[in-house]
Structure 1
């Protein structure tokens, strides 16, 4: 473990619940691990460009406007579909199966959508491009072009890919996910299963707007839950409202026997700060305590030791936010601004509600006693 990085780990859900949460990128049937590292083999370049977003504009679909005589889902598919792309992740065979490299092979595929047609910027999930040596992007008009990784952020499961051939591109218009309502109709567009089923369209509703998954990357957000069918390969594709605006980035599904229609998307309004940073800098900055968390300190282990549930601090960065506030290795962090936490992903979820430089209150346990301290959040970069 790196003692001088903010280290958060996926916590296995309680066995009695038998929860299986699958990332949707079709690596080996759709299950992959999200690494706390930049994508291998692809340099994050950071362009310095200011992203040109289509947001705050008149919606492309209105009650009396474009295609108003069409069925709503037909209209959405016509409007948003051209912005949706397929992304193929190529890796050396030795990186996947071990042994000598046997040349590049397609390790998995996912989806994405164009947000800036002038500069060729595409949004997708980090787990779609993770480990890539080469990226190929399939466009609405049938072209297949090489993609370059601009920046990736495992802590939010977001990534930006750029293509140089920007002719005849169409960007998606972005909506405001903060105003979504339960029951509101939405459409998911993506490439489940790869090119064979490219730009599959499914419709449903917003089932909830405040879901929390104990899954690295997705744990950073209050996720959108939808019953629109999403499957392996849909990851990175857009969730679109009936006005033709992207409101979410399809990222995960709840997959358990007997359960249907439980897909999850990252809210677009919450994702935008990270998207802009990745384009402009090639990395994203996040608020941090500047500590390392011990993954083996589980609720079961805490019960065995007779200590509180929380996050066991295995190390603090010298001169970092936690050390300045008096937190030491061996402390157990139990709450942030009064919000109780029981594992590292819940800690991430709480911290990402704030900004670098914000002051927060941290509750922790040490030597049989509970303590509170005020702390100014430090900065953690995704690279």
Structure 2
């Protein structure tokens, strides 16, 4: 209790010093208001009209007994009638209600989706954005830089939290069991609070630019609220938004082949193939006309029970010289490329290592 009393006394002393002053556009009536606090208030006042709460009514078939039929998330206007949010917020939607910061409501429909990085675009009907937000440059984030998160965590609309950018966290260290965001390479990790309901909301820098989109949190176990906020870098999101608007589907690199983690195979099967390591990804099925097919990647055979048969197909052990542990590594490394780029796969094929160049193709559907 003593530290709390000392802090309270310090605040009273500062307030007693009196004196209003003006910094930027916000008039401060007490000397305890610092330039950084004023900057935070300016960011929030400017951005709030663009941030929305999403109430998503879920389809009955997506519900389990006892589930809440309403999923609450966040989003923000980046154009007069288009909102960015997370795919996982709306993936099972039956109807979507958008609530603006002033309480006004409207309906929205799904315009386009990118499950690969957990992003969706919504088109709003009946209202025009009172404000739009612009994407900033997430590649220029500096550890210790202030970040502001706005959204509807735990259904508290217009909730604001602040923190700092800490590190770009490898997606390998962010295990997900929802099958979404498999093409995310790194997350923005922040001390700002990102809780259930924040998903899809903006993460802003001190200029008010969107440098990330709130997505998830990390905690030591399921019994503890998430302590580390995780967000999708704005550079990745902006690229996806541009692709979705122009093509309708994301244009990150893809091989067009299904992969199986090598460590999931029976040791005897790996040994028969001459493999001495469990690191890598087995090529299972190759889609006709895909980049993998054009590069003559060899798929695997299965029996009537779906069991893999020897000899195995190609095993990917590296992408552009970077060793891979599993199929996830392959997917995210290839996804960092664009159509027309060429990646060099190091393969284990018929008992020896070979290198095969693969030219990536434009995606035409998901």
**Which of the five TM-score ranges fits, normalised by the shorter chain?**
0.7 to 0.9
Residues 1:354 and 2:337 aligned together: yes
Whole-angstrom distance in 2 between the partners of 1:324 and 1:178? 34
Q: Which residue of 2 aligns with 1:271?
A: 237
Residues 1:314 and 2:284 aligned together: yes
Q: 2:315 aligns with which of 332, 350, 355?
A: 332
Q: Which residue of 1 aligns with 2:71?
A: 108
Q: 1:238 aligns with which of 197, 202, 214?
A: 202
Whole-angstrom distance in 2 between the partners of 1:357 and 1:168? 36
Q: Which residue of 2 aligns with 1:252?
A: 216
Q: Which residue of 2 aligns with 1:367?
A: 350
Q: Which runs of 5+ in 2 are unaligned?
A: 1-21, 29-34, 300-312
Label 1:219 to 1:321 Cα distance change in 2 as closer, same or farther (>3 A): closer
Q: Deviations over 1:72-131 (max 9, x none)?
A: 322222121221111122123244248xxxxxx8341111011012xx110001101101
Question: When the two structures are superposed, what TM-score results if normalisation uses the length of structure 2?
Answer: 0.78
- RMSD of aligned C-alpha atoms? 2.4
Label 1:326 to 1:311 Cα distance change in 2 as closer, same or farther (>3 A): same
Q: 1:217 aligns with which of 147, 166, 181?
A: 181
Whole-angstrom distance in 1 between the partners of 2:140 and 2:23? 22
Whole-angstrom distance in 1 between the partners of 2:285 and 2:99? 45
Offset at residue 355 of structure 1 (A):
0.6
Q: Secondary structure at the match of 2:316?
A: strand
Label 1:161 to 1:284 Cα distance change in 2 as closer, same or farther (>3 A): same
Q: 1:83 aligns with which of 44, 50, 53?
A: 50
Whole-angstrom distance in 2 between the partners of 1:106 and 1:300? 36
Offset at residue 219 of structure 1 (A):
4.2
Q: Which residue of 2 aligns with 1:229?
A: 193
Offset at residue 151 of structure 1 (A):
0.3
Q: Secondary structure at the match of 2:288?
A: coil
Structure having greater relative contact order (Cα 8 Å, sep ≥ 6): 1
Q: Secondary structure at the match of 1:203?
A: strand
Q: How many residues align?
A: 309
**Greater helix fraction, Structure 1 or Structure 2:** 2
Label 1:167 to 1:324 Cα distance change in 2 as closer, same or farther (>3 A): closer
Offset at residue 169 of structure 1 (A):
1.6
Q: Deviations over 1:133-190 (max 9, x none)?
A: 2111111110121101100011111100011223462111322112110110111111
Whole-angstrom distance in 1 between the partners of 2:126 and 2:59? 25
Q: Which residue of 2 aligns with 1:290?
A: 256
Whole-angstrom distance in 1 between the partners of 2:341 and 2:218? 34
Offset at residue 303 of structure 1 (A):
5.4
Offset at residue 214 of structure 1 (A):
4.4
Using the TM superposition, name which of 343-352 and 206-215 deviates more.
206-215
Label 1:246 to 1:374 Cα distance change in 2 as closer, same or farther (>3 A): same
Q: Secondary structure at the match of 2:26?
A: coil
Offset at residue 346 of structure 1 (A):
1.4
Residues 1:207 and 2:166 aligned together: yes
Q: Which has the larger radius of gyration?
A: 2
